[in-house]
Amino acid sequence: MNKSCISLLHLSRIYLRHPNITRGAVMPLHFVGLRTYCSSVRVRSYLQYMKRKIRPPTPPYSHVCQVGDPVLRSHASLVDPAAVKGPEVQKVIDTMIKVMRKLECVGLSAPQIGVPLRILALEYPQKMLEETPSVLREARGLSVLPLRVFVNPQMRVLDGRTVVFQEACESITGFSAAVPRYLSVEISGLNEKAESVTWQTSHWAARIIQHEMDHLDGILYIDHMDSKSFININWQSYNE
């Protein structure tokens, strides 16, 4: 798991600088504590502050909700299949994709943008893969993943062996921990066009799916983590 939520633009810039650290999924331990990570203190202009004061944003948000927000602990509701192509659900999906790409994270769930519906999206673009050293590609089993959206997804474990990697989440900004995930899974559901789709995958993609599926049931990676591996990704900068 690499990256997924923050003082948004600020973090996006950090990730741009360090494309090998991606959120939403997993990051290798040796990337943890990079000195170049900056503080995730949110910096807003006065104009942005006043705008939010006068008219607070409503879901679907263009930011990612942070741990503590009840929406992240709720059991997301099924989407009416007849409503998938409607404007409301389409707006949620479009916003998820925009936020995911803005933050350069590899997966996102609807609850993370404040919408307690069973929708998830994932994408691992070619550019991100190219920016990742080949040794890491191999260790993580990385490959390009075209954008995929699942509505009302169901997951089945295909290979019950587990692998442990450092994982992060846009909803728990600035932290990371080692999390075991199944090696291979099958996910099925509706896509953004309300068509039935099934996908069998393994390695990194399987990890992203498990992470995002958990979000739909109010589960966060910290519920599965090895607590002794839990770190502040900026810990080194505090000693400088």
Residues marked active site are found at 212
CB of 236: closest distance to Zn ion in angstroms? Answer: 24
* Helix count and strand count (H, E) for the chain: 6, 6
Convert 121-159 to b/e letters by CB count within 10 Å (16 or more is b): bbbbeeebeeebeeeeeeebbbeebeebbbbbbebeeee
CB of 203: closest distance to Zn ion in angstroms? Answer: 18
Nearer to Zn ion (CB atom), residue 31 or residue 236: 31
Establish if 169 lies at the interface with Zn ion (CB under 5 A). yes
Closest CA to 117 of 128, 109, 105: 109
The whole-angstrom separation of Cα 206 and Cα 211 is 9
Establish if 5 lies at the interface with Zn ion (CB under 5 A). no
**Position with the least CB separation from Zn ion:** 169
Q: Which one of the spans 119-127, 144-152, 162-170, 228-236 is the region binding Zn ion (CB under 5 A)?
A: 162-170
Nearer to Zn ion (CB atom), residue 28 or residue 81: 28
Nearer to Zn ion (CB atom), residue 79 or residue 169: 169
Other CB atoms within 10 Å distance of the CB of residue 228: 8
Site residues, Zn ion (CB under 5 A): 169
